[in-house]
Amino acid sequence: MEYYELHPVTPQQRYINKAIEVLKDGGVIIYPTDTLYGLGCDIFNKEALQRVYDIKNELDTKLFSFLCADLKDISKYAKVSDHAYRAMKKLLPGPYTFVLKAAKEVPKKLWTKRKTVGIRIPDSDIARTLAKELGHPIMSTSVTSRLGELYYNPDEIKTVFDASVDLMLAQGTLFGKPSSIVNLSEDEPEILREGAGDISYFL
Protein backbone atom coordinates (compact mmCIF):
# COMPACT_ATOMS: atom_id res chain seq x y z
CA MET A 1 0.00 0.00 0.00
CA GLU A 2 1.16 3.49 -0.82
CA TYR A 3 0.67 5.61 2.32
CA TYR A 4 0.59 9.40 2.45
CA GLU A 5 0.01 11.64 5.46
CA LEU A 6 -1.88 14.79 4.52
CA HIS A 7 -1.24 18.15 6.13
CA PRO A 8 -4.28 18.96 8.34
CA VAL A 9 -4.72 22.49 6.98
CA THR A 10 -3.20 22.44 3.50
CA PRO A 11 -3.34 18.85 2.17
CA GLN A 12 -0.62 18.17 -0.40
CA GLN A 13 -2.17 18.15 -3.86
CA ARG A 14 0.52 15.78 -5.14
CA TYR A 15 -0.70 13.07 -2.77
CA ILE A 16 -4.31 13.62 -3.77
CA ASN A 17 -3.23 13.38 -7.41
CA LYS A 18 -1.59 10.02 -6.70
CA ALA A 19 -4.89 8.76 -5.25
CA ILE A 20 -6.75 9.93 -8.34
CA GLU A 21 -4.25 8.08 -10.56
CA VAL A 22 -4.83 4.89 -8.56
CA LEU A 23 -8.60 5.27 -8.93
CA LYS A 24 -8.27 5.81 -12.68
CA ASP A 25 -6.12 2.67 -12.91
CA GLY A 26 -8.86 0.62 -11.25
CA GLY A 27 -7.36 0.61 -7.77
CA VAL A 28 -8.89 0.66 -4.30
CA ILE A 29 -8.07 3.42 -1.85
CA ILE A 30 -8.74 4.53 1.72
CA TYR A 31 -9.47 8.22 2.18
CA PRO A 32 -10.73 10.65 4.86
CA THR A 33 -14.34 11.85 4.86
CA ASP A 34 -16.27 14.15 7.17
CA THR A 35 -17.15 11.20 9.42
CA LEU A 36 -14.74 8.25 9.21
CA TYR A 37 -12.19 6.80 6.82
CA GLY A 38 -13.80 5.54 3.63
CA LEU A 39 -12.90 2.58 1.46
CA GLY A 40 -13.53 3.26 -2.19
CA CYS A 41 -13.01 2.85 -5.90
CA ASP A 42 -14.48 4.01 -9.20
CA ILE A 43 -18.09 2.74 -9.24
CA PHE A 44 -17.77 1.91 -12.94
CA ASN A 45 -14.86 -0.51 -12.46
CA LYS A 46 -16.38 -3.96 -11.87
CA GLU A 47 -13.14 -5.59 -10.73
CA ALA A 48 -12.45 -2.82 -8.23
CA LEU A 49 -16.01 -3.00 -6.90
CA GLN A 50 -15.61 -6.73 -6.34
CA ARG A 51 -12.36 -6.11 -4.48
CA VAL A 52 -14.20 -3.77 -2.10
CA TYR A 53 -16.83 -6.44 -1.44
CA ASP A 54 -14.08 -8.98 -0.79
CA ILE A 55 -12.16 -6.64 1.52
CA LYS A 56 -15.31 -5.92 3.50
CA ASN A 57 -16.21 -9.62 3.52
CA GLU A 58 -19.67 -8.73 2.25
CA LEU A 59 -21.97 -10.49 -0.18
CA ASP A 60 -22.68 -8.88 -3.54
CA THR A 61 -26.18 -8.10 -2.29
CA LYS A 62 -24.90 -5.67 0.36
CA LEU A 63 -25.74 -2.06 -0.50
CA PHE A 64 -22.80 0.33 -0.56
CA SER A 65 -23.30 4.03 -1.15
CA PHE A 66 -21.17 6.24 -3.33
CA LEU A 67 -20.11 9.86 -3.13
CA CYS A 68 -20.51 12.61 -5.68
CA ALA A 69 -18.62 15.87 -6.03
CA ASP A 70 -21.69 18.14 -5.89
CA LEU A 71 -25.46 18.36 -6.28
CA LYS A 72 -25.23 18.63 -10.05
CA ASP A 73 -23.64 15.19 -10.13
CA ILE A 74 -26.45 13.61 -8.12
CA SER A 75 -28.98 14.35 -10.86
CA LYS A 76 -26.88 12.23 -13.25
CA TYR A 77 -27.09 9.16 -11.06
CA ALA A 78 -30.44 9.43 -9.27
CA LYS A 79 -33.97 10.67 -9.76
CA VAL A 80 -34.42 13.65 -7.46
CA SER A 81 -37.85 14.92 -6.44
CA ASP A 82 -38.45 18.54 -5.50
CA HIS A 83 -38.65 17.79 -1.77
CA ALA A 84 -35.49 15.69 -1.95
CA TYR A 85 -33.63 18.45 -3.75
CA ARG A 86 -34.66 21.04 -1.14
CA ALA A 87 -33.44 18.81 1.68
CA MET A 88 -30.14 18.04 0.02
CA LYS A 89 -29.51 21.66 -0.94
CA LYS A 90 -29.93 22.64 2.70
CA LEU A 91 -27.94 19.82 4.29
CA LEU A 92 -25.16 19.04 1.81
CA PRO A 93 -22.24 18.84 1.88
CA GLY A 94 -22.59 17.01 5.18
CA PRO A 95 -22.59 13.67 7.04
CA TYR A 96 -25.64 12.20 5.33
CA THR A 97 -26.38 9.34 2.97
CA PHE A 98 -29.54 9.92 0.95
CA VAL A 99 -31.38 6.99 -0.61
CA LEU A 100 -32.85 7.93 -4.00
CA LYS A 101 -34.29 6.14 -7.01
CA ALA A 102 -31.43 4.98 -9.22
CA ALA A 103 -30.79 6.38 -12.67
CA LYS A 104 -29.85 3.99 -15.48
CA GLU A 105 -26.24 5.22 -15.45
CA VAL A 106 -25.56 3.59 -12.08
CA PRO A 107 -24.21 0.01 -12.23
CA LYS A 108 -27.00 -2.36 -11.18
CA LYS A 109 -24.61 -3.93 -8.68
CA LEU A 110 -25.19 -0.83 -6.56
CA TRP A 111 -29.00 -0.92 -6.78
CA THR A 112 -31.23 -2.20 -4.00
CA LYS A 113 -34.15 -4.49 -4.79
CA ARG A 114 -36.28 -1.34 -4.80
CA LYS A 115 -34.03 0.15 -7.49
CA THR A 116 -32.61 2.79 -5.19
CA VAL A 117 -29.05 3.92 -4.44
CA GLY A 118 -27.33 5.60 -1.51
CA ILE A 119 -25.50 8.83 -2.32
CA ARG A 120 -23.19 11.05 -0.26
CA ILE A 121 -21.67 14.51 -0.69
CA PRO A 122 -19.39 14.67 2.34
CA ASP A 123 -18.19 17.87 3.93
CA SER A 124 -14.63 16.93 2.99
CA ASP A 125 -12.74 18.82 0.32
CA ILE A 126 -10.45 15.83 -0.17
CA ALA A 127 -13.23 13.31 -0.76
CA ARG A 128 -15.13 15.63 -3.10
CA THR A 129 -11.96 16.49 -5.02
CA LEU A 130 -11.28 12.80 -5.60
CA ALA A 131 -14.72 12.34 -7.17
CA LYS A 132 -14.49 15.55 -9.17
CA GLU A 133 -11.06 14.85 -10.62
CA LEU A 134 -11.84 11.18 -11.28
CA GLY A 135 -14.93 12.27 -13.18
CA HIS A 136 -17.01 9.47 -11.63
CA PRO A 137 -18.58 8.83 -8.23
CA ILE A 138 -16.50 6.90 -5.71
CA MET A 139 -17.63 3.95 -3.64
CA SER A 140 -18.19 5.09 -0.07
CA THR A 141 -18.15 2.52 2.72
CA SER A 142 -16.65 2.93 6.18
CA VAL A 143 -13.36 1.21 6.93
CA THR A 144 -14.21 -1.66 9.26
CA SER A 145 -12.94 -5.05 10.29
CA ARG A 146 -14.49 -8.15 8.75
CA LEU A 147 -16.71 -8.26 11.84
CA GLY A 148 -17.93 -4.72 11.23
CA GLU A 149 -15.85 -2.96 13.91
CA LEU A 150 -14.91 0.61 13.00
CA TYR A 151 -11.29 1.71 12.64
CA TYR A 152 -10.37 5.28 13.58
CA ASN A 153 -6.56 5.32 13.76
CA PRO A 154 -4.65 5.55 10.45
CA ASP A 155 -1.68 3.55 11.75
CA GLU A 156 -3.96 0.67 12.69
CA ILE A 157 -5.76 0.92 9.35
CA LYS A 158 -2.43 0.81 7.51
CA THR A 159 -1.40 -2.34 9.37
CA VAL A 160 -4.67 -4.15 8.72
CA PHE A 161 -5.18 -3.17 5.07
CA ASP A 162 -1.59 -2.90 3.84
CA ALA A 163 -1.83 -6.00 1.64
CA SER A 164 -5.36 -5.48 0.31
CA VAL A 165 -5.60 -1.76 -0.56
CA ASP A 166 -3.49 0.13 -3.09
CA LEU A 167 -3.22 3.57 -1.45
CA MET A 168 -4.24 5.41 1.71
CA LEU A 169 -4.55 9.14 2.37
CA ALA A 170 -4.16 9.64 6.11
CA GLN A 171 -5.42 12.71 7.95
CA GLY A 172 -5.03 11.81 11.61
CA THR A 173 -7.43 9.91 13.82
CA LEU A 174 -11.08 10.36 12.81
CA PHE A 175 -13.38 9.80 15.78
CA GLY A 176 -16.57 10.22 13.82
CA LYS A 177 -19.81 8.30 13.57
CA PRO A 178 -21.25 6.82 10.40
CA SER A 179 -23.42 9.13 8.34
CA SER A 180 -27.15 9.44 8.96
CA ILE A 181 -29.13 7.58 6.29
CA VAL A 182 -32.36 9.11 5.05
CA ASN A 183 -34.63 7.56 2.42
CA LEU A 184 -35.88 10.31 0.09
CA SER A 185 -37.06 7.99 -2.67
CA GLU A 186 -40.71 8.26 -1.61
CA ASP A 187 -43.04 11.15 -0.82
CA GLU A 188 -42.29 11.00 2.92
CA PRO A 189 -38.70 10.93 4.21
CA GLU A 190 -37.73 7.87 6.26
CA ILE A 191 -34.84 7.81 8.74
CA LEU A 192 -32.99 4.54 8.19
CA ARG A 193 -30.06 5.28 10.51
CA GLU A 194 -29.39 8.14 12.91
CA GLY A 195 -25.70 8.90 12.72
CA ALA A 196 -23.47 11.95 12.53
CA GLY A 197 -25.93 14.14 10.62
CA ASP A 198 -28.64 16.09 12.49
CA ILE A 199 -31.98 14.57 11.45
CA SER A 200 -34.23 17.24 13.04
CA TYR A 201 -34.95 18.68 9.56
CA PHE A 202 -36.99 15.54 8.83
CA LEU A 203 -38.88 15.33 12.14
Which of 132, 143, 141 is CA-nearest to residue 68? 132
> Over the stretch 51-106, which tens digit does the pLDDT of each residue have?
998 888 775 556 789 999 999 889 899 999 999 999 999 999 999 999 999 988 88
Please name each of the domains of the chain with its CATH number: 2-202 (3.90.870.10)
Averaged confidence pLDDT in the chain: 92
Alpha carbons 66 and 184: distance in angstroms, whole number:
16
For residue 61, what pLDDT is reported? 54
Identify the residue with better confidence: 70 or 113: 70
For residue 13, what pLDDT is reported? 94
Q: How many helices (H) and strands (E) does the chain have?
A: 6, 11
For residue 159, what pLDDT is reported? 96
> Over the stretch 151-190, which tens digit does the pLDDT of each residue have?
999 999 999 999 999 999 999 999 899 999 999 999 999 9
> Over the stretch 2-58, which tens digit does the pLDDT of each residue have?
999 998 888 999 999 999 999 999 999 999 999 999 999 999 999 999 999 888 877
Q: What DSSP character marks residue 3?
A: E
**Does the pLDDT at position 200 exceed 80?**
yes
